[in-house]
Amino acid sequence: MTDKKVVLITGGAMGQGAMHAVEFAKVGYDCVLLDMLDPSDERFAATVAEVEGLGATVLPIKTNICSTPDMEAAFAAAWEKFGRLDVVVANAGIINFGYTWELEDEKVQKALAVNLEGTWRTDKYAAQYMRKQGYGRIINISSVSGLKGTEQLATYCMTKFGIIGLTKTLALELRNSGLPIYCNVVCPTKVRTPMCETQQYVDFVNSTMGKNFENWQEMFEDEKNPGGIKFLNPIDVTEMVVWLAESEAATKFTGREIVVDRGAML
């Protein structure tokens, strides 16, 4: 068993998950990174190298969070290597677009499988291992779209609303177990990650917000204009996640949604 704290992050190869890994390494954690990418992928390998460069031991595992055997194996491997799981961050997720009446089964089922069932599966094994060790912190990632309806985002909204319900239920169950295991959920607004760096996302913003951006670079630059669209940087979300993981003050609440939105919900 390692003397260092250990964090497990889903979707840990790149984007927001990679930022989480880097910042946890900076405060002394070893990292288990689960992702659909193979660790040999240059993007995943670059994240591993950066985190290891900060002094962390990294266990990268190609994992399908929609697969029970994959998740069982990944958590077992993490426990075998480190003997502890102090923090689990259910970060992995996808987004797709379409008016509710246009959606087909495949698109809805994929979002449910990855965002909602994937988070449930992550929470399930996190709770099992944390109950065994007697402590821990589980941090789910939802969205402001888990708090309000968003046009053309039915699949994203339904899954992100569901994550908040899951968080509150698990937090209640863990509280009633009497163990110091806390479960909270972070709800960011739009973040500068690869999820937003697509033409589909730009088209969605143009359609719903009356904009006329040609590309995502132009979309990100809009915040410099009066009344422009405001995006978070990945570090803004990560700082809240690390606070929930590390702060003694964060033990004063559980089952809560923490909104990081630059005023988007006002």
- pLDDT 10s digits, 123-146: 999 999 999 999 999 999 999 999
pLDDT category at 246 given cuts 50, 70, 90 is very high
d(CA 78, CA 133): 14
- The residues that are catalytic are 156
User: What contacts 143, CB < 8 A, 6 or more positions away?
Assistant: 156, 160, 187, 188, 189
174 CB contacts (<8 Å, ≥6 apart)? 127, 131, 181, 182, 183, 254
**Closest Cα partner for 119 from 99, 75, 89?**
89
What pLDDT band is residue 173 in, cutting at 50, 70 and 90?
very high
Burial 202-217 (b: 16+ CB within 10 A, else e): bebbeeeeeeebeebe
In the chain, the largest separation of any two C-alpha atoms, in whole Å, equals 55
d(CA 114, CA 67): 10
* Contact assessment for residue 182 and residue 135, using Cβ atoms and an 8 Å cutoff: no
Asked whether residue 1 carries a pLDDT value surpassing 80, the answer given is: no
Both tokens assigned to 37: 């990418």
Return the pLDDT at 263: 81
pLDDT digits (tens, 9 = 90+) for 180-203: 999 999 999 999 999 999 999 999
On whether the CB atoms of residues 12 and 35 are closer than 8 A, the answer is yes
Q: What is the pLDDT of residue 266?
A: 78
- Mean pLDDT value across residues 36-45: 97
The Cα–Cα gap between 175 and 179 comes to: 7
Contact between 195 and 15 under an 8 Å Cβ cutoff? The reply is: yes
Residue 84 has pLDDT above 90, yes or no: yes
How high is the pLDDT of residue 101? 97
Are residues 190 and 231 in contact, defined by beta-carbon separation less than 8 angstroms? yes
Range 38-63 average pLDDT:
98
Mean pLDDT of 50-65: 98
- Is residue 57 scored above 90 in pLDDT? yes
- If 0-12 CB within 10 Å is exposed, 13-18 middle and 19+ buried, where does residue 95 land? buried
pLDDT of residue 105: 97
With contact defined as beta carbons under 8 Å apart, do 10 and 65 qualify?
A: yes
